Amino acid sequence: MLAYIGRRALLGIFTVWAISVLAFAIIQLPPGDYVTSYIAQMASMGSVVTDEEAQNLRIQYGLGQPIYVQYFKWMRLIVQGNFGMSMEWRRPVTEVIGERLWLTVIVSVAALILTWVLALPIGIYSAVRQYSVGDYVATFIGFIGLAVPNFLLALVLLYLGFVLFNAHIGGLFSPEFQDAEWSGARAWDLAKHLPIPAVILGLAGTAQQIRIMRANLLDELRKPYVVTARSKGLSEARVILRYPVRVALNPFASTIGYTLPYIVSGSIIVSLVLGLPTVGPLLLKALIAQDMFLAGTIVLLLGVMTVIGTLISDIVLVLIDPRIRLEET
Amino acid sequence: MTDLGRTPRTRQRRSRIVMALVVGLLTTVLAAGALAQMAKSGLIGKLEGPEVVTDPAKFPKTLNEAPQLAALVKAGKLPPVAERVGQDPLVIKPLREIGRYGGTWRAGFTGPADFWNGFRCCSGPDHLMFWDYTGDKVMPNLARGLEMQDGGRAWLLHLRRGMKWSDGKPFTADDFVFWFEDIYRNKDLIPTPSAAMAINGKQGTIEKVDTHTVRFKFPEPYYMLPDVLAGSTDLAGQMFGYRGMGGFAPAHYLKQFHPKYAGAAELDRKVKEAKFDSWVRMFLAKNDWALNPDLPVLSAWKTVTPINTPTWTLERNPYSVFVDTAGNQLPYIDRVVLALAENLEVLNLRAVAGEYDYASRHVDLGKLPVFIENQQKGGYKVYLDPGDYGGDMIIKFNLNYDADPEIGKWFNTADFRRALALGIDRDQINETFWLGTGTPSSVVPADGNKYNPGPQYRKMWATLDVKKANEMLDKLGLAKKDGDGYRLRADGKGRLRIEIMTLGGQFVQYTQIAEMIREQWKKIGIDLTVQEVERSLALKRTAANEQQLGAWNNDGSEHLFTFPLHVFPFELAAVATSGPLYVKWFHSAGAQGKEPEPRMKELMEKWKKAFGVPEKERIQLGKDIWKIAAEEVYIIGVIGMGPASMGVRVVKNNMGNIPSRQYNSPDGKTPGISRPATFFYKN
Amino acid sequence: MVAEPLLSVRNLKTYFTQDEGTVRAVDGVSFDMALGATLGIVGESGCGKSITARSIMRIVDRPGRIVEGEIHFQRPSGSGGAGSMVDLAKLEPNGALMRSIRGAEIALIFQEPMSSFSPVHTVGSQIIEAIRLHQPLGRQAARERAIEMLRRVGVSSPEERVDQLSNQLSGGLRQRAMIAMALSCEPTLLIADEPTTALDVTTQTQILDLMRRLQQEDGMAIMLITHDLGVVAEMATDVAVMYLGRVVEQAPVDAIFHDPRHPYTRALLRSIPRIRSRTRERLTPIAGAVPHPYDRPTGCPFHPRCPEFMAGRCDREAPILRPVGDHHAVSCFLYE
Amino acid sequence: MAEPEAILERGGSPLGGPTAVADTREQRIFVASQWQLMWWRFRKHKVAVASAVVVASFYLIVLGADFLAYADPNASEAHRSLMPPQRVYWFDGGRLSPHVYGLKGARDPQTFKRVYVADPDRKIPIRFFAEGFEYRLFGLIPTTRHLIGVDGGADATQAVFLLGTDVQGRDLWSRLMYGTRISLTIGLFGVTVSLILGVVLGGFSGFYGGMADTIIQRTIEILRSIPTIPLWMGLAAALPRDWSVLQVYFAITIIISLLGWTELARVVRGRFLSMREEDFVVSARLVGCSQMRTIFVHMVPSFMSHIIAATTLALPAMIISETALSFLGLGLRPPAISWGVLLQQAQNVQTVAISPWLMLPAVPVIIAVMAFNFLGDGLRDAADPYGR
């Protein structure tokens, strides 16, 4: 079993590496570099940046060298635990991201939990009562979340929040807690701001989860062991919950890994609209400003989060599904 | 319909009659014209603002200070206010009343790229000279006075005695010398000398006369210097410190980061420690007014939490040299908190919700109705500050475009440019995107502006006249049209297609407007392609001379001489260009680039000349420049004197000394020109 | 034969009603089973054997349902007085009473030994669950019972097996475990649905021997559902031959093998290698195939394939099961 | 097995070893009923059937966008900026003659909103198959006929605006029609690309397994580990921004599908894996069918259905992606019209506050996504009863 997890971990590391390359590539894709966009910014504010100045900047930022050189420099930094300087924020990348990363995780996880709370029962119900009215209604609700463009939904909720409840506009904290020290009060303030983003994000993922649960369960429901269980004289509820559902949960658990990036991606858009201090808006800005270390690090971190998510789900899977334990050990 | 149906129908009819009446009223109002409408709306008041008192007789005899500072003085942590301010305070007569101390000014900003936000509100303004509230007259500011010598070849700058940096160290001529010798002249920090320090391309020098006197010396007369010091130029004070500019810098503090003073090894260590890639990066970061809380400043507020954090906070500078006529040290407001807003919609909605005490930057004109609607709820009032510049939106012809000779040829044909200008239905655009608050206009600045050539130029080639436009184009030899009614190229290479480059996400919705113009130009048989690009690309293309038409605004052009880049080809790094080759020609004094056509050349000559002549002549030259610009239509003016860029002002009702209208211009650092240091909270 | 049968099915009809049409999986099945007897039910795949079994257990999947008929089952004297009869067909499929019978008095083992255990629970836990469901035993007691049962069915070192997952056991072992679970509550009727089909020959015989042995020990009746006449010959005391949801012939095992009456029965016998046969005779398959469920023939369902087809008769009316000797009944017009 | 279908299964029984004649006959039954049953099962899924209809009608709109639109989607006019949707009056004095009232509009000097009031005396009759701007029906037949229209035409006061207008006074209904065309074709195009990728790679990795399988699986894993949005942002930002709208259009779809294929590949692979083991494939192999034959004659029949289902389920993802990209300003840009573009232009406070009708384009998005999902589910359930 340990060997198995070890193997998965190795794979994860490989994946992370691959992502780091991809991340770096992604950032290099757009034309120009940070200096170009910096000059553009200056220019649009009526300030002059001459070619010589630009050249200087490029040298100072170590741009201009071939991409792979830059990549290896970056890698070396990272290995030393230094993710480099954000060109736009003129601070170490780690500081810039800082709290935002955790807020991202919090928002995502909140959404994830919500997703399950909705998806599991609905999925089970609509599998057991396939084609019943309930099945339709349940899946319908699930799909609405998927179908509504979440950026629009977010904006509308934002506005309604202001009109109806005079709520603080956007963000995850009230101004007074914006950069206060962590405290019970601050956590509570965060909790109060969490529902809207969580709902918007959660809903988007629910349909997918419902479908997975439903399909798995439909699959299991046809297995002979269900008949066996029934023929023992168990009550229907117990038959369903103790056997097929239990088995159907396994593939479900394995989706954690894939749900996480889905939600994190979604969180970027929603964060933008709701102005959440997550890495989402930061990433978008960084990509536009071509602030490569910042953008690169964020993409990398998101990737790592995903890999970790996958790893966790693998481990969970091993724990709850003895079969794998057998095969793998 | 059933009987049941009737009653509601009659009711409907009645309500319709009422509504019809309303409409009648509205239409008449509309007829009365935009201005009348503004007046009615009461959103645009009369231009007003605080004044700098220069007559020592009117100076306050005693000085007061904010309570918390007084407490510190009592505690012995701070010298008495008189010592801190010095013998020659910068006295400002508040707009309406003497204010009360205290309060926090809540506002929003969009991230580290948004430093202008803080410059405008809170940097003092810390120019040596600065504009009065009309934006026309240059007044002493940090400097006590500026004295011309030697026919404009030298200028004596008199500093205020006893004036101090925010850390209590004296502000003296040495800070100018340090800047000039060790920053400005250091090739690593400043690879290219600034045009602001030069006259006719010849660099000037700065030297110390005595502790409180500095001399600027130039090889040729530099009459423009006062305006240059007042405007948002490279000599505009600490705000451009992040680029090594400013005209002065806190020598006593910065020396420790300068290789000349700190040992190379020592400096190297510091750089490593601070994780910078080079000492230059670090030095510039340390000299960044918005980024470095330790940097000694002269502005009314100083940064305490830097711009690269979720909240950019500034607090009163205890050594601020600004005082009101009653002798109260300014600013009145204790702190300014700019909270990071991840996007503009959130920022605007927060303003709507009254979460900001004063907001104009990033406030979207398109949301004006929403702001007005929520005035009560948000406890704020909406003001409009139309700019003085002629173009909230302008369209530049790239006169050097040569990728397609045919197109290039037409761009260099005055009548072609004029015809296109006549093909734009400005009223439509004004109504749609300025909600009728702008003025259809050529590029010339507001009538009040001292360089305005005269009322007749406002509408020159700036009215809708499809018939005339078509005639002109036909005459030019573009009479042939294709099946869809578009004009064909003279070289027989099919339809005459022109492309306009726009930027998204700006104060003005250039792309959408351009789309509207595309529709309008159909009527004159011109096929316009709208190409929205993002900034860095726009820049690349203009520099590479790949742009055909470019949409932008000419804000700043009301200060024609300190902000020329939207008047004629002056700047390579522009998001919209009138001709990169002309720029090269202009700056290389004819050595490189392409020689402009006579009238353009004339315009450029006049501009250059103006720096070396007394104000009277300069004003005349300015008028001439605008005349040429208007007649030749190198740049199409679309809508001008509108509030589109930072002209929609949302201010809490409890804020005092708020002008009902202020001079809106980047050169005036609006609202800096209204001296935010005199704003205060009534309760 | 005992006067009062343990199970008597009367005219049982289980239909699957769907948009496509109604599948009459079981269409008027009738038969009796004596205590301790072994009834073999034979027929081609899909003739309704399994559905019959499931109908008795009342675990027919949707959309199938019993539309008609009675299933009289005699509950053992222990529960509710001797010989109290219940009509299972009338019971609520998931009602308390039915559930107390299901698994306790009527147990089921069936084909897929591979998948008839939950893959994620240990074999033991599943047996224990069954035991504790019907008997007032504590965890530990139930566990011992389970182990003991496993031992009885010949599982080596049951102490370990009990904690293993089904997929750690061979097919044979699983089937044994299934039997252990089925018999753990000493049912009076064991329904074995193709219990050996999926197993190799040697294991088959082992399992059959096991079942026979347990039957002798516990004296329960076995309903042996299979298409393998060989198995029937070995195990059954009586045989019911089914075709398209009907019993076409029912008789003691010898009668079926030595004196088959129904043409279909004969065809069946001809189609398999005769046990203990001396002369080498060639096997003849039954002409044609089982009709499509949605277009079942009129009259006698077998007539399209019947060698003795009487035009105008067999394709018009449906024959009914009538006695043709002691305990021997056939539904065919040949015997009227 | 309890499933009635099971009755068809021929495995196992030593009885009735089928004669040659019987063989062909059964083969036919088998193949026929494969699809027949699928259709039966699909029919059971009422909502799916309804969805099928919806989807179909959406694609009718795609075909007839310019016929259904009654105004030039780009014709802007300040004096009808931000008109709310007009109320249609169906009856005029008892007899059916659908019409709307002419609108008078002006900007309120106090609120700065544009105010429109209906003028009951000016009825504008809605004509069916009326004259309008010229276009080519299905890109072929030049015509000026439109489903509906008014006599007035472009004149601001003489026009109908079923769904109101946007800031530039452009008719939302007509823009919506064109938006539908682009958004749904993008979906199709994108799905086709990812379908090809998915089937080829998935099939490859499923059928041959081994090294190929490992590599492809890892690739999928990595692709899925990267949050999609940044990937899009990077790739989309990489597009030359001076590309024409059309080029961008295709580039975007390709980008979307470059990431969309993984799911399909997984499904396909899964199918192949499970089918490799199924009796009829194995036997087909044993009999010595060529692999091509094995795949196409034996696997594909039951397999197609899954592809169809998976594809249908992939489409809504495409649609959502398109809107998301446009929102980020990385997708289609004006003057192109797509659902994404329309929504992006509605993505501001003043729309929500003052002109909510501009958010209407969300409705077709929602409906389409739902319809495709239900349709897909229906197909999938139909495709295999055991919900594998």
Q: How far apart are CA B447 and CA B459, in angstroms?
A: 12
Contact at CB, A48 and B195, closer than 8 angstroms: yes
Q: Which residues of A touch B572 (CB under 8 A)?
A: 51
Query: Among residues B424, B420, B417, B418, which one has the least CA distance to residue B399?
Result: B417
How far CA D149 is from CA of D103, D119, D166, in Å, comes to 16, 19, 19
% of chain A surpassing 70 pLDDT: 88
Chain centre distance of CA B97: 28
Which residue of chain B comes nearest to A52, CA vs CA? B191
Report the pLDDT value the prediction gives residue D11, as an integer from 0 to 100: 34
Query: What is the pLDDT at residue B676?
Result: 95
Let me know: does B268 contact B317? Beta carbons within 8 Å: no
Q: Which of residues 17-46 of B touch D (CB under 8 A)?
A: 19-20, 22-23, 26-27, 29-30, 37, 40-41
Q: Give the model's confidence band at B528: pLDDT under 50 very low, under 70 low, under 90 confident, else very high.
A: very high
Closest approach of D45 to chain A, Cα-based (Å) = 6
Measured between beta carbons, which residues in chain D are less than 8 angstroms from residue B532?
Answer: 333-334
The DSSP code sequence of A244-303 is IIHHHHHHHHTTHHHHHHHHHHHHHHHHHHHT-SSHHHHHHHHHHHT-HHHHHHHHHHHH
Distance from CA of C237 to the nearest CA of A (A): 25
Q: Taking 80 as the threshold, does the pLDDT of residue B64 lie above it? A: yes
Q: Which residues contact C206 (CB under 8 A, 6 or more apart)?
A: C154, C172
Structure tokens at B309: 């954090």
Q: What is the DSSP string of B511-539?
A: HHHHHHHHHHHHTTT-EEEEEEE-HHHHH
Check residues B461 and C78 and name the one with the higher pLDDT.
Answer: B461
H/E element, B638: strand B635-640
Averaged pLDDT for residues A299-327: 75
**In percent, how much of chain B has pLDDT > 90?**
61
Q: Is A31 on the interface with C (CB under 8 A)?
A: no
Chain B residues with beta carbon closer than 8 angstroms to that of A57: none
pTM, entire model: 0.82
Q: Which residues, numbered 226 to 255 in chain A, qualify as contacts with chain B under a Cβ-Cβ cut-off of 8 Å? A: none
The nearest CA of chain A is from the CA of B191 a distance in Å of 6
The DSSP bridge pattern shows strands B129-131 and B358-359 to be unpaired
| Structure confidence at residue A176 as a pLDDT band (50, 70, 90) | confident
Q: Of A214-218, B533-537, D247-251, where does the model show the most confidence? A: A214-218
Note whether C25 contacts D4, CB cutoff 8 Å. Answer: yes
DSSP B310-353: SEEEEEE-TT--EEETT-BBSPSS-EEEEEE-SSHHHHHHHHHT
Write out pLDDT tens, residues D30-60: 444 566 777 777 877 788 899 999 999 999 9
Asked whether residue A45 carries a pLDDT value surpassing 80, the answer given is no
pLDDT tens for B587-637 read 777 888 899 999 999 999 999 888 888 889 999 999 999 999 999 999 999
C115·A224 Cβ contact <8 A: yes
ipTM above 0.90, yes or no: no
Residues B656 and B102: their CA atoms lie apart, in Å, by 12
Share of chain A above pLDDT 90, in %: 0
**pLDDT average, residue stretch B169-189:** 93
Highest mean pLDDT among A69-78, A168-177, B521-530: B521-530
pLDDT at B312: 93
pLDDT of B27 strictly over 80 = no
Which carries the bigger pLDDT value, residue D63 or residue D334? D63
Among A41, A61, A281, beta carbon nearest to B113? A41
Asked if the model's pLDDT at residue B356 lies above 50, the reply is yes
Please give the pLDDT value at position B115. Answer: 86
Which residue has better confidence, A283 or A319? A283
Q: What is the pLDDT of residue D1?
A: 34
Q: What is the mean pLDDT of residues B477-486?
A: 90
* Residue B91 pLDDT class (50, 70, 90 cuts): very high
Lowest mean pLDDT among B169-173, B182-186, D240-244: D240-244
Q: How far apart are CA D185 and CA D190, in angstroms?
A: 8
The token duo for B174 is 């040495």
Whether chain B has a CB inside 8 Å of the CB on A88: the answer is: yes
What pLDDT was estimated at residue B4?
41
The beta strand positions in B191-321, using DSSP E, are: 198-199, 202-203, 205-210, 213-217, 301-305, 311-316
pLDDT at A179 over 80: no
- The most confident of the ranges A122-131, B36-45, B145-154 is B145-154
Single-letter code of the amino acid located at A92: P
Q: Which amino acid is at B97?
A: E
Residue A328 has pLDDT above 60, yes or no: no
Q: What is the pLDDT of residues D16-25, one digit of tens each?
A: 333 333 344 4
By mean pLDDT, which of B28-32, C17-21, C256-260, D106-110 is the weakest?
Answer: B28-32
Q: Which residues of chain C have pLDDT under 70?
A: 1-3, 19-20, 78-83, 113, 272-285, 287, 289, 292-294
- Chains meeting D at 3+ CB pairs closer than 8 A? A, B, C
Q: Is D206 or C88 the better-scoring residue by pLDDT?
A: C88
pLDDT above 90: residue B549 = yes
A31/B538 Cβ within 8 A: no
Q: How far apart are alpha carbons C62 and C70 in whole angstroms?
A: 20
Listed residue (C174, B347, D388) closest to A216, CA to CA: D388
User: Considering only CB atoms, which chain D residues are within 8 Å of A19?
Assistant: 222, 225-226
Cα–Cα distance for residue pair C234/C250, rounded to 1 Å:
17
Phi–psi pair at D179, nearest 5 degrees = -60, -45
pLDDT(B397) > 80: yes
Mode of pairing for the β-strands spanning B154-158 and B213-217? antiparallel
Mean pLDDT of B22-33: 48
C-to-D residue pairs, Cβ atoms closer than 8 angstroms: 69
Q: CA C171: distance to chain centroid?
A: 20
